Structure 1
Amino acid sequence: MINVSLSVVKGIPEIKKDDPLAKILYESIESNGIDLRDGDILCMAHKIISKAEGRIINLADVSPSENALYYSRKLNKDPRKVEVILRESRKVLRYFRHEHQNEGTIICENNLGFISANAGVDESNLEEEDTVIMLPKDPDLSARKIKTFFKKKQKVNVGIVITDTFGRPWRIGQVNVAIGIAGVPATRSEKGTPDNFGKIMKVTEPAFCDEIAAASGLVMQKSKKTPLVIFRGLDWKNCNGSAKDILRNKQEDMFL
């Protein structure tokens, strides 16, 4: 029997720029009475990373470009916010505003290579008015730093998954996906192995890090300051993967 548990870490304080995030997470885990073990996976919302790394920008300091003004008029969107989105993007792929929407959406390939709404630029869960938050500059590096801290501090080999919330083609709603990982594999290929009836699987490759991220969304609550979930009981082997390993080759992408 496989027993997997998800533990929400409560009491994490509001994170500020330059806060020692790994230390704060360690202390919060301890105060929740959780003893980390080898093989545990710490899954966390990117906003605590972004806040600690100072990835918040005051819109009063942003001057919109002509390009930003163009999309702003089309989408009824704050041109300063659009400017931040464009700065965080390699390219704009789509933009639209449905009749029932007050504000439209820009679908971008952001600077990390992920395709998402508004390049991950967001306004929610920020203390200061007229500010937006961006994704971490290098989520994989951020994840590795946290993993290293726990290895040195507690002598435990844990995995790290950093998440953001994405929409999906063909489906309504959003799910958490992995944008940064350390230790855990991005995918786990089952190609070449037999199924229950002996048929050799040719394409099966579960997106392990995204499955963890999506499951964390069942217990993370944005309104209750629970950005950290600890997974225990999953079978995985330590590796040097990257969340970017999960990106599909552009030549194979049917949605571009």
Structure 2
Amino acid sequence: MTHIVEIRDPAERSRIAEVVLRDLPEWFGLEAETAAYIKAAAELPTFAVKPQDAFLCLKQHTPWAAEIYVMGVRREQHRRGLGRSLVAAAEAWCRDRGIRYLHVKTLGPSRPSRGYDATRAFYEAVGFVALEELHGLWDEDNPAVILVKDVRLGFSVMPIEGLPELRAGDDLAALIAERTGLQDGDVLVVAQKAVSKIEGRVVALADVEPSGRARELAGEEADPRRIQVILDEAVELVRVRPPLLIARTRQGYVCGSAGVDASNAPEPETVVLLPVDPDASAARLREELRERTGVDVGVIVTDSFGRPWRAATTDVAIGAAGVEVVRDLAGERDPTGYELHSTRIAVADEIAGAAQLVFGKLDRVPVAVIRGLDVRGDARAADLVIPPETDLFR
């Protein structure tokens, strides 16, 4: 784990800045400017990775805004997470002082440069947004772009609008990438029906021949063809109140109608089934997005479930990749010192419920981006399934 320290001694600040900056002539090759950075470091709040591997200096401009005045990571330490750790330390420093916005200036995109293109990509990956390119701030040959980040704690939930009606074989990763700018650490939340449609998990009722059992359960109220699809998807009927069926699915979920649903189906007289393996679906989408965008995001596939002893439904995670699914607090102590013994938080389910608030069940908005949560992990949504032998609600 990278250990970040705040350097208090002015002379040491300058020494670290000089060692690092002189190792980066592609970025800091002009002697006058480099000397100015080294001199300024002595007077500015400075964080570093010892011994002299990386540093960052901050400059506060107003009670609400500060700037990453200069940052450098020695070449041999690139791509080891040091820059991310330094930015995180700078953000924490800002929050402690009530500072809302952190900005940084670098070479603008209208002046192509391999090194500075990578610099901009780094800042965008850690959440900075390009505000404006200024051609007169430095000089006409070196346009400056200002990137800004809101460092206040919290998270945002943003719907991805404008997706077309999805069909089997559609490239969902491409459709998403075209409509939003993903960042490292984002969590992409996708309604199950979007995944099921592109995977061809749609059944035309015209092709279904209902059995006698299906006709019996349907009675006069339900379509026996739909009941037959439910029976085909179920491994066990847990509760039966015709035509209502609560079933255990092949994936292990206990839910209404074995997850078979006619709402938001692509056409009348069709029903949508659950993905065969929602965790695998999430992993595929995550990898496709990484290949297409170069960004590492988490993916959660959701569906709406009812709950014992509670009215109405909420979205839960049925598939997950690259995210923390369960947070186990056993062994932790609360503010009074009480040791927790069995507290486990269904993090992926809580994220799914938050995303449902911006999903448009009536407006065909099946995808949302959660930004601002630190929930990276490698568990599966299948870990949330209670085995039948320990299910207290049966």
TM-score when scaled to structure 2? Answer: 0.60
Corresponding residue of 1:87: 232
CA contact (8 A) 2:247 2:256 kept: yes
Which structure has the larger Rg? 2
Query: Is 1:55 paired with 2:194?
Result: no
Contact 2:246 2:257 in 1 (8 A): yes
CA-atom RMSD, angstroms?
Answer: 1.3
Higher strand share: 2
Structure 1: distance between partners of 2:339 and 2:376 = 23
SS in 2 for 1:223: coil
Instruction: Give CA-to-partner distance per residue, 1:120-176, whole Å, 9 cap, x none.
Output: 101111242211111111111111111001222222110000000011110111100
- Kindly provide the amino acid, as one letter, of the partner of residue 83 in structure 1: Q
Question: For residues 13 and 2 of structure 1, what CA distance do their matches in structure 2 show?
Answer: 34
**2:317 aligns to what SS in structure 1?**
strand
Moved over 2 A (4+): 249-252
Match of 1:72 among 208, 218, 238: 218
Offset, 1:251? 2.5
The answer for the alignment partner of 2:74 in structure 1 is none
Q: Note if contact 2:239-2:246 (Cα within 8 Å) is conserved in structure 1.
A: yes
Which runs of 5 or more structure 1 residues have no equivalent in the other structure?
Answer: 30-34, 98-103
Distance in 1 (CA, whole Å) between partners of 2:266 and 2:194 is 13
Match of residue 333 from structure 2? 194
Q: CA deviation at 1:85?
A: 0.3
Provide structure 2 residue ranges, at least 5 long, that are not aligned to the other structure. 1-151
Match of 1:28 in 2: 179
Q: CA deviation at 1:80?
A: 0.6
Tell me which moved more, 246-255 or 195-204.
Answer: 246-255
Could you say which residue in structure 2 is the equivalent of 1:224? 363
TM-score, normalization by structure 1: 0.91
Tell me how far apart the structure 1 counterparts of residues 338 and 387 of structure 2 sit (CA, whole Å).
27
1:31-79 residue CA offsets vs partner (Å, 9 max, x unmatched):
xxxx321110000101111111111111111011222122122x73211
Task: Give the fraction of aligned pairs with identical amino acids, expressed as a percent.
Answer: 39
Equivalent position of 1:184 in the other structure: 323
Cα deviation, residue 238, structure 1 = 2.7
> What is the match of residue 149 of structure 1?
288
**What is the aligned partner in structure 1 of residue 381 from structure 2?**
243
Amino acid at match of 1:88: E
Task: Report the secondary structure of 2:158's partner residue.
Answer: strand
Tell me the distance in 2 between the aligned counterparts of 1:213 and 1:105.
25
Name the CA distance, whole Å, in 1 between partners of 2:299 and 2:271: 25
